[in-house]
Chains A and B, each alone.
Chain A
Amino acid sequence: MAEKKPKKEKTPRAKMPEQNPDIRRRNFEEVPLGLTPEMAIAEAKRCLQCKKPLCVDGCPVSVGIPGFIKLIAEGDFSGAANKLWERNALPAVCGRVCPQEEQCEGRCIVGKKGQPVAIGYLERFAADYERKNGSGGVPAVEGKTGKKIAVIGSGPSGLTVAGDLLLKGHEVTIFEAFHKPGGVLVYGIPEFRLPKEIVASEVATLEKMGANIDCNTVVGASVTIDELFEEGYDAAYIGVGAGLPRFMNIAGENLIGIYSANEYLTRTNLMKGYLFPEYDTPIARGKNVVVLGAGNVAMDSARTAMRLGADSVKVVYRRSRDEMPAREEELHHAQEEKIEFVLLTNPTQFFGDENGRLTGMECLKMELGEPDDSGRRRPVPIKGSEYRFDCDLVVVSVGSNANPLLTNSTPNLNLNRWGNIVADPVTGKTSKKGVWAGGDIVTGAATVILAMGAGRAAANSMHDYLTIGW
């Protein structure tokens, strides 16, 4: 009788090495350290190489996931990076900030019975490997078409559009209002989650492919879209992001020490306030910090405050832990870094001293009632539950409204009642001929990868327009 084959030991999902929480909460270095080549190969071998890969369906930019993972399993890391570039201009970024659990990894067959393949870790590994050890080569660009494209905004969707259209041989200029390209990847997402050197490197790849990057140009103010067409551009993509920060509209909100998350993160990340006075832009270093809101931006703000030397950082949120919109990984990292979640609590007013500086705030306790339009249980105030506490820094992270600066200067561009641009959900076409839009200016605040997905769709439609017609 043949000897019974012992059941094959399953390799567990790779565990990402990370900086120790007690150390990292006081520095700005990246938290996850990245997989080693051995770990990456072992993880890649867990992939079943499905014939009909569901993971690819889960990816907004349809990265060839089994293909690049197979190359990692074979030890061809540069090959894997090149495979990624075919569908994704920003793999090192996506490997870090995509919500893989809801996308590729959420669909992974291996994950049905156990832990899914760590696709995000592998994407990051291949892109990082190529950046550090690669030949510096860039994706091959098709023959020149002679068409000129204006990409307005250098955030994730704009960079995706630029990458895709460059590959197809079009001439692309990216307009950026700030002095550095990258949009939210540079001003918003902190260094410890996405090192700026990585964004710069991904942008440099686009430049090597031929992109012109025109910083310090506020389209809508310095030049209008119609003037760009007069200057000889054939098509334009608007990816200018969400824009205006929302505040709570409660008493005392203009006290010194109350920041929007946009301001707090821009001062810290883009302007490098954490390196003050080496860099000139100051940032308040609060001891008792409160962050209002519970999305990814709120977690970025809270973790930044901890790194800027806070004794205590509280995230105040009106619903419960289950409704917090941030990624689980972000919530987990924040809690590991001793950030306190004060749930079912809503701010009612702020208090300050005679110099107009914040000294404390008042909150109200909430309880969950019936589900609201979003399907989440509506928080209802508990009467008489107001209480006060001291704080010296508040970061308001409750979302943003559409910035009208560009849209006001662009005739024939239809907007919805919130001021967001109306764009075809499949193609990204707007009501204005030759103009596409995508990302937060269309959807309101969302994720990096959704903005990239919109960019991908728009780039395909723009290519059709440039080669076939509107």
Chain B
Amino acid sequence: MAKIVTREEMAQGTIILNEIEAPRISRKAKPGQFVILQADETGERIPLTMADTDPEKGTITIIYMVVGKSTARFKDLKVGDEYYALIGPLGAPTHIEKVGKVVCVGGGTGIAVLHPITRALKEAGNEVTTILGSRSYDLLIMEEKMRNASHNFHICTDDGSEGHHGFVTDVLKDVLEKDDIDMVVAIGPIPMMKFCSLITKEKNVKTLVSLNPIMVDGTGMCGCCRVTVGGDTKFACVDGPEFDAHKVDFDELAKRLASYLEDEKTSMDAYKNCKIQ
């Protein structure tokens, strides 16, 4: 169980794709839901929103950026290796319905999370405009899949190596000016989601974001993932991970994500030393 059947390196090896055997989860999972993975008995429990599922094959796909020790350990796993623990599907699925014109904005590995949602929104009969952003074109992931899941498609790069030279927010503003948009879904780094949300709030366009706070159990038991939404405390693992962007306290979320910065460095340094030896 939880055996890796496909492994790809993307974005110059900074982002990894794993397709994993998980028959039960693959049959149940809906767009927007996540799983929790643990590399081995001493590992951390890491939540990742699924990028794809294949119920017939009995697999799920996750895509993650290598940022610390836990994801570095994930990266070490080869095809045929098994995760020590994999649970899911967790969290509330995205509410998919036909609302009209939808804009999907994605950045970094948020694009992976956005993919099944975008596809489902298109299948539900929406006109989908997708805006993807990355620092540089060689770091952009899932371009073809996202293009296929959309009617209109834009790329933005910070360095101008492809598409619009600048941020996704520039293109989002443009699209909102030119067209009557019914809903925006923005998934990516916190600053991206925060600034998309500020823009759509001005235009009063309903906006969803998918949040990625630190979690432990992922089933509502610990409260580690609490976020402030509309002044109330919510647990992202059971109340989310998707929320109304206009109500989310992004600054608090960003701070809470930095809770263990020192420990993460200690852990990564020890791991690097260990690998060198």
Residues of A within 8 A of B (CB): 177-179, 215-218, 221-223, 241, 243-245, 247, 249, 253-254, 256, 259-260, 262-263, 266-267, 271-272, 276-282, 284, 355-356, 403-405
Contact = CB atoms under 8 A, between A and B. Distances in A.
Contacts of A222: 24-25, 28, 87-89
B266 A277 contact: yes
A177 B217 contact: yes
Given A262-B222, A267-B216, A282-B260, A253 B42 contact: no
B70 A244 contact: no
Interface stretch (B120-128, B193-201, B223-231): B223-231
B256 interface: yes
B221 interface: yes
Interface in B53-105: 69-70, 73, 84-90
Given A215-B85, A272-B42, A404-B238, 14 more contacts: A177-B219, A178-B217, A179-B41, A218-B87, A221-B90, A247-B223, A254-B252, A262-B222, A263-B222, A281-B44, A355-B255, A356-B252, A403-B220, A405-B220
A280 B70 contact: yes
Contacts of A256: 255-256, 258-259
Determine the main DSSP class of B at the interface with A.
mixed
B38 A179 contact: yes
B216 A271 contact: yes
Nearest to B84: A179
B252 A277 contact: no
A279 B42 contact: yes
Interface of B: 1-2, 24-25, 28, 38, 41-45, 69-70, 73, 84-90, 216-217, 219-224, 226-228, 233, 235, 238, 252, 255-256, 258-260, 263-264, 266-267, 270
A459 B70 CA distance: 41
Contacts of B41: 179
B159 to A, nearest CB: 31
A217 B259 contact: no
Contacts of A221: 28, 87-90, 219
B235 A244 contact: yes
A28 B79 CA distance: 39
A263 B216 CA distance: 7
Given A217-B24, A243-B220, A356-B252, A271 B44 contact: yes
Nearest to A279: B42
24 contacts: A177-B217, A178-B217, A216-B86, A217-B24, A221-B28, A221-B87, A221-B90, A243-B220, A244-B221, A254-B227, A256-B258, A262-B221, A266-B216, A266-B222, A267-B216, A271-B45, A271-B216, A272-B42, A277-B267, A280-B73, A356-B252, A356-B256, A405-B219, A405-B220
A245 B221 contact: yes
B267 A280 contact: yes
Nearest to B23: A222
A401 B45 CA distance: 23
Contacts of B233: 247, 249, 253-254
In the A-B complex, the 5 residue pairs with the smallest Cβ-Cβ separation, listed nearest first, are A356-B255, A282-B263, A263-B222, A179-B85, A260-B223
Contacts of B88: 218, 221-222
